[in-house]
Structures are given as structure tokens and as C-alpha cells.
A and B are shown apart, each in its own frame.
Chain A
Amino acid sequence: MVSEEFFGRKFIFLSGKGGVGKTTTSSSIALGLSERGHKTLLISTDPAHSIGHIFEREIGPKEKELQKNLYAVEIDVRKESKRYIDNIIKEARQILSPIIIDEIQEQIELAYHSPGAEELALFDIITRFFEKENAYDRFVFDTAPSGYTLRLLALPKALNNWINRLIKTRINAMKVQYYADRNPDKTLKAKLESDPVLKILNRRKSQFELARQILLDNKKTLFMFVLNPERLPIEITRDSIKELEETHIKIEALVINKIANDSSARSRKEKEYVAQIEKEFAPRRMFKIPLLEEEAHGIESIKKISDIIFSD
């Protein structure tokens, strides 16, 4: 399968530990796709704003056209999460008395630091793009939902049952409350329809369903892993792939990044590692990217990588 066809999936995710070159690789893939006529959006959640550095442009949280067919956006997960929490407090202020607000504000703010908060905030950001999948031909993410989030999604029993049961419990509680009320102001049906709690639960339910449907569909979604030819990254990759594949998500390609090519001892060792990766992770597709002379800076520098990725 030629590369262009291989990248014929609407959503492309790059996984890998920090510093291996996910942003450089995803920028190169996005560039290659846009040059081949696909309207592509590159989404970066790297807090270091590295795609701005690569494309030598200020990018920011609004989608920006960089050149024909190539768009990019930089999203700060922490900022998004802060906004989410602030909106909840704002909503609470409209409904509750100031005394109650004092009591619960701390608890709401605590959620910002709760375990998994950042992962779930990232998940919200990713699914927002799922909801507008028709706006672009390709979406390239320089990150992927965490293994933890994917596991939650992939196990239908975990998340689906949980949310369905919550919805059912809420409906039942409202029914019984309605029967206990001797002078109800609205019909039960009207109450259920206007209930903000059910609205939120149902919105989450459809978000989970859409995400599950897209992430587990390998005609629509491609997961890749970026690693460097070193011992530790290989081990991490092995564990991560195993973990993801248990959740039925296939890592279809590996990008072996920063391969030095000289006569040094280190380079010889790297060649061994590359051979090991190719053997161990076969038959997955491999993209081998040489170590650049300098840090990726400017479209020209990633053009070289893009040409390697799309060379066949």
C-alpha cells in the first residue's frame, strides 16, 4: 500500500513518550497530506508550542491556515481544563446561594487537580474534532488519548453501563420525586425533558459513543507510535502497544525517529536497535527517519521528513 493510501484515514494519532519527535513527525505527515491535495488540520497539544516553531508562525488556539490545504491549531490542555472548571463555577453562581457556593467552590476547583483530569480534558478536546469531522479531509494529532482513557472507552461494559445506569437512576429518582409531589408544577415528561442533569449525562453518553465508534474503526482512524532507536524507548513501546492492543486499538505503524548515520559506535548500536525494532514489531509499517542536522525549524526542514514518509 502506498503511503498516501496508508494515510487515507480521517484521524491520525501519534503516540510515544515525550521528546521522541511526535510533533515533528505529525507536522511532516500533515504537510505531506496537504501537498497531496487533502485539506488537513494539524492539532498540537504540546505545551511548548513547537508547531509554531516548526512553521515559524504564531499559531494559537484558533485554527489557522498555514498554506494551501494545511491548517494548524495549538491547544493548551491546562487552559481548556481551567475554562471548563470556571464555567461550572459560573453556572453554580447562577443557581446557588453565595453561602453554598463558598462551601462547594473548593470542591469544584479540586477537580482540576483530580487524578485523570488532564487525560479527560484531552479527551474532550479530541472528541470536539470528532464532532466536526466534515470540516477537513484529515486530522493529524501530535498526541493520542492516554492508554487509560482508551481502556475506559474500549471496554463497553465499563463506561456504557456506568452512564446508562446513571441515566436510569436519575429518571427513576425523578419519577418517585414527582409522585411524592402533591402539586407538581409540570408534567413528568416536561420535567424529564428539561432536566439539566439528564442533559449532561446524555451529552456524555453520546460523546463516549462517538469516540468509541471512531477510535475503534481502523478504516477511519490510524494509530502510530514514534520511538527512537534506543533500548528504553523500545521497551516502553513494547509495553504501550501491548496495553493498547488489549483494548482493541491497533498500532499500525512505527516511526523510528532520529537515526544517526555515521561511523560512530553509537550509530552502529542504533543500527542494531533499528533491526531489532523491525523484527520485533513486524508486520507493522515502519518509517525510518534520519537524525536531522539541526532541530526542525521551518517548512523546508520537515519537507525532507515528509518526503521520506511519502516516498513510496
Chain B
Amino acid sequence: MKMDFKRFFNDLKLFFKGALVDTSTEVIEAAANMMQDNFMIVIFSDFLGIPNPLSYYTIELIPYFGNELPGWEKRMSDRKSVLAKAMGEIGEP
């Protein structure tokens, strides 16, 4: 009986962690990724065809974004629409 009680509280804890903490870190993670994407748009815009007058200087940052760069380029060119992206972020009404 005592053991079950402990188990119940543990499950309860896991339930709230799953429902609140994990989803909130997911939200923060999504926000972090979005900020990173936006930062990359500003410094590597010429990869997307938007001229960057200082690309000769921002190229210096490539080594530190290299791993994210291919995925980022794909995400930027594959975006269906701004609206779909916004809905993905906030959830459909």
C-alpha cells in the first residue's frame, strides 16, 4: 500500500513534468531555433539571393554556422508560406 502511494506520486510528478516542463522547453527550443534562423538570414542573406553589402565580412562567421547551414538553406527555401509557418508556431485556431 505504501509502495503504491509512492508510485502514484512519482507518476503524478512525471505527468506534470511531461505536460508542463517538457512542452515548455520545446517551446523555448523552437524559439531558439527561430532566433538562430533569423540571425542567419541577416548574415548569410546573399545565399538566399538577397544582396548583403558586407558579405565579405560576414563570411568570416561561416565556420561557426557550418553545421546548421545546409539545413537552414533548405528550411529557408522550402517554406510553404509565411502563414503556414506562423500557424505551425502558434497552433491553428
Chain A positions 109 through 122: 1 when the CB is less than 8 Å from some CB of chain B, otherwise 0: 00100111100110
In terms of DSSP, what is the predominant structure of the interface of chain B?
A: helix
Q: A92-B63, A95-B66, A103-B70 are in contact. Are A176 and B31 (CB under 8 A)?
A: yes
Chain A positions 71 through 109: 1 when the CB is less than 8 Å from some CB of chain B, otherwise 0: 000000000000011001001101111001101100110
Bound: A117/B42 CA distance, A? 18
9-residue interface stretch from A52-60, A166-174, A294-302: A166-174
Task: Determine whether the beta carbon of A200 is less than 8 Å from that of B61.
Answer: yes
Interface residue? A177 (CB, 8 A): yes
With an 8 Å Cβ cutoff, the count of chain A residues facing the other chain is: 38
Q: A92-B62, A172-B35, A177-B32 are in contact. Are A182 and B56 (CB under 8 A)?
A: no
Task: Determine whether the beta carbon of B62 is less than 8 Å from that of A104.
Answer: yes
List which B43-93 residues lie within 8 A (CB) of chain A.
43, 46-47, 51, 53-57, 59-67, 69-70
Task: Determine whether the beta carbon of B35 is less than 8 Å from that of A176.
Answer: yes
Among A108, A180, A182, the residue within 8 A (CB) of B62 is A108
Among B36, B38, B60, B66, the residue within 8 A (CB) of A100 is B66
Q: Which residues of A contact B (CB under 8 A)?
A: 84-85, 88, 91-92, 94-97, 100-101, 103-104, 107-108, 111, 114-117, 120-121, 152, 162, 166, 169-170, 172-173, 176-177, 179-180, 182, 196-197, 200, 204
Bound: A200/B57 CA distance, A? 9
Task: Determine whether the beta carbon of B42 is less than 8 Å from that of A169.
Answer: yes
Chain B residues near A108 (CB-CB < 8 A): 59, 62
Task: Determine whether the beta carbon of B66 is less than 8 Å from that of A197.
Answer: no
Task: Determine whether the beta carbon of B62 is less than 8 Å from that of A114.
Answer: no
- Chain B residue nearest in CB terms to A166: B42
Distance between A163 CB and nearest chain B CB, rounded to angstroms: 9
Chain A residues near B55 (CB-CB < 8 A): 111, 114, 116
Chain B residues near A85 (CB-CB < 8 A): 59
Q: List 14 A-B contacts (CB under 8 A).
A: A84-B60, A88-B62, A88-B63, A92-B62, A97-B67, A116-B53, A117-B56, A152-B53, A169-B42, A173-B36, A177-B36, A182-B25, A196-B64, A200-B61
Chain B residues near A94 (CB-CB < 8 A): 63
Known: A92-B62, A100-B69, A169-B42. 6 other contacts (CB 8 A): A94-B63, A96-B63, A114-B59, A120-B54, A166-B39, A173-B36
- Chain A residue nearest in CB terms to B66: A96
Bound: A101/B64 CA distance, A? 12
Chain A residues near B61 (CB-CB < 8 A): 197, 200
Chain B residues near A177 (CB-CB < 8 A): 32, 35-36
